[in-house]
Structure 1
């Protein structure tokens, strides 16, 4: 019954056997009927598949693993907002989890006794395969058609890619989150305000300098709140969160070059790949700096910040995220 291909070279039956053996908490919360009903969606290609399928997922996966602390500040803020009472004993679905970025970072910065159990989800087979290889409990599914059973989760998070959910499917995805949450469970949606510097980073820089383009629509504060209400959530709150990208190096000059290299790799800005000489990096810095966004408009702040930190130098690209939370009513 489950002998269709679920992951590249792996049938659903083989995945389920491995999941039952290695990730029993996830297996117990899967709906096998929903997995079967969605069998036609697992060959759907996304921009985050590997280069062999025309995607940019290869460098994204590799960069997330090399720089697990680059977005620590934002990730910690998201989990603090999702689980204000702490994560111990809680189960969280990371809907747009890629190869397990949130899981990796949270395991590095959170004491084990305080860490929620995070299930990574993603639509891209290569992302899920990589996350499973790293030992993370992971499920391949579409955001608008989750494979978790009803009322099995304490938290659901959409982050670092919510704009990739097609506009007509967004309320469906949030209704799916509502379905899998227990009464009193919470959803969190993170993205960026349409036309803000951070959103324009995607619509202008990625559109021009990647090989895949980036034709996505971001959010407004009112529009995001309306989506959560329409999906059935109560106590909806919308705020802005400082969510910078930060990397470290041994000198100030090395730090800002390392940051630019990180951004090129993470977002697959292939048309900005390094050329010989420091002048190339100055050109890239001048090109990318206008997209820095601070929570407080302060003309004294350089767009890309470089400062001493713990005996090394940190380079920081300021970004501001739009974050909404809601609760499934009891």
Structure 2
């Protein structure tokens, strides 16, 4: 919060007149007529009026002084045009003050995780170099900052002091590996100018874990199997989408390194319109070391590392409906 500026002198016209008249018996005892019509009293009132105007200026910083302060903040001379009216000078100075303070408050150095995220997600894409060399392809949609990690040369689980790995996800993923590598290198050079001198940066893209999902959907009597399967596929892809995940994850995409729990997938599919219940959800195609089991030896989920996202494939979503007392499969 800004520091309040003190009033250097807050005496008013009435205060000045009263103080001056109170000095008359001390300075001029023979002066006994203090009526407003007295010439001396008129002179006191006139001087009090002039003094009040001067005291008002004491609490003001002239525009020329503010121009000097702006030059110090900007690091270069800033001259107030002399041909402007006082009102125009005031407006110009106030506008320039707001612009300068906004520039000073914009993060430049990166120390904390939010600092790196701000520089990558916002400031990088606004640089002339990024716009000229990459255009829209240079925009970064998501970033995960991992302190004490060197994802370029070491194991993800091995802490390394003074190293920071930045896992970036471009808004428009590069199909050309050479362009993607140049984007990461240029982004690293951009951040090297803003990091602490002891910090070692590593800029990498996320690792995508490919897995296949299968489940059996038991439908309500009024449900249309093609519509249910189509909606199920849409929501599964939206749930695991790395970007623009619609109604999931506040639209940001599947969280970096978030473990996958079968209970969440059961709830996702079970809540679909037209679905009675869900059975036999399977996730295949992943390393067994990622599997998590409960005390009864049942698979409950899959583990991901902090730099990983999911690339989901759907193998089959067979549907069944009740015919009489039995569940019968629908014809795809």
User: TM (normalized to structure 1)?
Assistant: 0.29
The structure number with the bigger radius of gyration is 2
Of the two structures, which has the highest relative contact order with CA contacts closer than 8 Å and spacing of 6 or more?
Answer: 1
